[in-house]
Amino acid sequence: MGMTMRVGKIIKQERTKRGWSQADLGRMLHMGKASISRWESGEREPGREALSRIAAVMELSVEAFFDPRQQSLFRPESLAVSKSRSLAVDPVLETAWHRLTPKERKKLVQIALILSEK
């Protein structure tokens, strides 16, 4: 299985595990459903920035797309504030993150992605 197909398979697996449609994921990433479909089918591969955003929304490390043995753990450093600097997370914020429900986490990631575009 080629790298493009493997990344797409993991995106689909993680998306369906969360009960999200391709349209749901597309909305979270501010992309069309067609992009998600092309990634999952192996027709195309997401770029580095898109993959970073997918990882953030799915609470995965980017490495999880290349090494399926990686655990599905939230990686605060995967939320890029800009291309040049990462979000600094202190222990208090990290503890607060883990107390959120999955729905609250999803909403917070959406807000962070919107803010990172400004």
Question: Going from the N-terminus, what domains does the chain have, and what CATH number goes with each?
Answer: 3-116 (1.10.260.40)
| Cα dihedral: 111, 48, 29, 61 (round 10) | -60
CA-closest candidate to residue 82, choices 48, 46, 115, 47: 115
- Higher-pLDDT residue of 40 and 80 is 40
Angstrom distance (rounded) from CA 95 to CA 42: 37
Cβ neighbours of 20 (radius 10 Å): 18
Question: What pLDDT is stored for residue 1 in this prediction?
Answer: 55
Q: If pLDDT is split at 50, 70 and 90, which confidence band does 97 have?
A: confident
User: What was the pLDDT predicted at 36?
Assistant: 96
Q: What is the pLDDT of residue 118?
A: 56
* Range in 4-8, 36-40, 69-73, 97-101 the model is least confident about: 69-73
* Residue 35 pLDDT greater than 90, yes or no: yes
Q: Give residue 2's pLDDT.
A: 61
Q: Which amino acid makes up residue 68?
A: P
> pLDDT: is 3 or 102 the higher one?
102
Interacting residues of 6 by C-beta distance below 8 A, sequence separation 6+: 65, 66, 68
Mean pLDDT of the chain: 76
pLDDT band at 56; cut points 50, 70, 90: confident
> Per the structure block, which two tokens stand in for 19?
């009960």
**What end-to-end distance do the CA atoms of the chain give, in Å?**
38
CA distance 16 to 22: 9
Q: Which residues is 4 bridged to in the sheet?
A: none
